Amino acid sequence: MDNQRNLILAIALSFLLLLGWTSAMDYFYPQPEQALVEDRADTPTEQASQAAATQHSRTGGLVDPAMRAQEVADLKVALASPDRLRIDAPRVAGSINLRGGVIDDVVLKGYNETTRKDSDPVRIFSPNGTPAQQFAQFGWVGSNLKVPGPQTLWEADGDVLTADTPVTLTHDNGEGLTFSIRYSIDDQFMVTAEQKVANTAGNPVVVQPFGLVNRTSRTASEDLWIAHSGPIGVFGDTAEYDVDYDDLDEDQRISPEGRTSWAGFTDIYWLAALVPQDDAAPETTFRAMGNETYRADMIYEATTLPSGNALTVTSRLYAGAKESAVLDSYEDAGLQKFGLAIDWGWFRWFEKPMLWLLRTIYDAVGNFGIAIIALTFIVRGLMFPIAQKGFASMAEMKAIQPKMKAIQEKYKDDKPKQQQEIMELYKKEKVNPVAGCLPMLLQIPVFFALYKVLYLAIEMRHRDFLWVKDLSAPDPANLANALSYVGIEVPQFLMIIFGLGVLAVLLGFTMWLTFRLNPSQMDPMQQKIFDIMPWILMFVMAPFAAGLLLYWVTSNILTLAQQKYLYSKHPQLRASIEEEKQKKAAEAAKAS
């Protein structure tokens, strides 16, 4: 009776867990990607209330429909200004605002906001004052000098910035100082800014070049334990992932220690980062600017510039996608640890080759879903000898169970002697009691690495497979989406049930089969609780990216095949487990 009561209680708690999981679904459900956004609250009260209501998707972008509409309207006005210099590079398009010389309009060629064919390209920079504010600026700080400011109208020597045609912006302050910024861009996502100031006045002047990236947290992707979102950089010899927007709100400004190799802001798929001149060590600071806006700036050392001399500082700006191969190419060219803009974690030495293999398979088969399945086959194949050894060890341990029980019964009142006799038994039978555990421990980092590769890889974004249009988003084949086609919107608290997709159901079913194929030796009440776990996990995992579920389902199917084969090679293990299960069931029936 007590066992039945405990079982009912366990089931009730499980359903409470599922209902409580609704809020967590917002945390994992990737929303349709939109332009980067910020909220412009006019008062501290408005700012606090709107900040509390800010929602973030896994991949970043605006969530609030009203702000998305405002962003479209503001962009239309801002980009219509005639004071703009067009950018048209192989992978980047947009414009530079000549009013202030600001790079504030950047979209990425080859990346669309949604999977629709008419979707706009991903926008990562948006002008100051728009809801999606994010921009970069290069300039000077001067002591009692008339330096270019936000309202300075620069003169350009060209009409379009391309990979083959740099453009120079020039401004004469009328007091003997001529400022210029020569912008160039490569065939990827890197902009070079060569800042020069020439002193033709009669006296020396003190100037400080600077570069900055300004952005809002409203458009930030969620900062998860597996994927950092927020301030980032390499300082000294260390990559910084520990500072987030909340930390900046609390401290207002943070200046990491060590020479800056690069610094900026990251989302799960996008990066805006400043790179200082190679022989310089500017002071880098992350700042909270209020109204959910933040700034990363690097200010070079103040320099005295004598009359008749010029000072030139060359900085760079990366504004683009976090493609591992592209980041690594800049690192190979001398940009220290730029590949760590992707938060690979402890197993990056293994994850990056795995990503390379995934890309190679995709290039060969032409479908990312098939590539995930093939990679899972390869990894499980490589792990099979380890699993086989673990099964063999389990079989050996099962074979000596009667002898172990006899020793335990004989020396039940003398624990030291009992342990000594058991160790002698292990030695005599040539059985290693930890041999069955070690193979499992070796597999954990491998499968975690594969999981993280699929989670972080931008290569999975907007890749289709069968009915799934985007493997980086949840499985769309669910009842909630079906009902939406006929105008019925499912309340959020019911999404835990109606949002259950086909892949999640397959995940639960295949996991249940693996548990059934490998009978447990727990008591019946525990076994019943254990039996419902696959179905609980089915609901928990449903909001995850479809590509991850595809990997888990494939892995479960391979586990079933592996278990079938290994049980056929070790029939005594299966027979022993079944015998133990029947014995415990009989004891439980007798007790009740």
What would the pLDDT profile of 97-154 be if each residue is shown by its tens digit? 999 999 999 999 999 998 888 899 999 999 998 999 999 999 999 777 899 999 999 9
Last residue of a domain, one of 313, 343, 373: 343
Rounded to two decimals, the pTM is 0.81
pLDDT band at 255 (very low <50, low <70, confident <90, very high): very high
Rounded Cα distance between 588 and 190, Å, is: 69
pLDDT confidence of residue 28: 42
Average pLDDT across the chain, whole number: 83
Asked whether residue 297 falls in the same domain as residue 193, the answer is: yes
More confident site: 514 or 69:
69
User: Can you give the CATH number for the domain in which 79 is found?
Assistant: 2.70.98.90
Last residue of a domain, one of 343, 376, 401: 343
In a domain, 373, yes or no: yes
CB neighbour class for 217 (10 Å; exposed up to 12, middle 13-18, buried from 19): buried
Q: Which of 378-382, 383-387, 411-415 has the highest mean pLDDT?
A: 378-382
In a domain, 32, yes or no: no
Asked whether residue 169 falls in the same domain as residue 281, the answer is: yes
* 429 pLDDT above the threshold of 60: yes
For 573, residues 6+ apart whose C-beta sits below 8 A from its C-beta are: 391, 394, 395, 398, 567
Asked whether residue 578 falls in the same domain as residue 498, the answer is: yes
What residue spans of 269-347 are helical by DSSP H? 324-332
In a domain, 145, yes or no: yes
In a domain, 25, yes or no: no
Asked whether residue 329 falls in the same domain as residue 421, the answer is: no
In a domain, 538, yes or no: yes
In a domain, 34, yes or no: no
* Number of other CB atoms surrounding residue 399 within 10 Å: 15
- 């019943």: which residue's tokens? 528
pLDDT tens by residue, 37-90 = 333 333 333 443 344 456 777 788 888 889 999 999 999 999 999 999 999 999
Asked whether residue 483 falls in the same domain as residue 430, the answer is: yes
In a domain, 301, yes or no: yes
Asked whether residue 210 falls in the same domain as residue 126, the answer is: yes
Asked whether residue 105 falls in the same domain as residue 237, the answer is: yes
Asked whether residue 190 falls in the same domain as residue 241, the answer is: yes
Asked whether residue 284 falls in the same domain as residue 166, the answer is: yes
The separation between the first and the last C-alpha atoms of the chain, rounded to the nearest angstrom, is 8
Rounded Cα distance between 159 and 174, Å, is: 25
Asked whether residue 263 falls in the same domain as residue 327, the answer is: yes
Name the domain count of the chain. Answer: 2
- 């458009």: which residue's tokens? 219
The residues pairing with 194 across neighbouring beta strands, listed in sequence order, are 182, 314
Last residue of a domain, one of 290, 319, 343: 343
* 534 pLDDT above the threshold of 90: no
Asked whether residue 190 falls in the same domain as residue 336, the answer is: yes
In a domain, 508, yes or no: yes
The range of the structural domain enclosing residue 287 comes to 65-343
Asked whether residue 393 falls in the same domain as residue 316, the answer is: no
pLDDT confidence of residue 299: 96
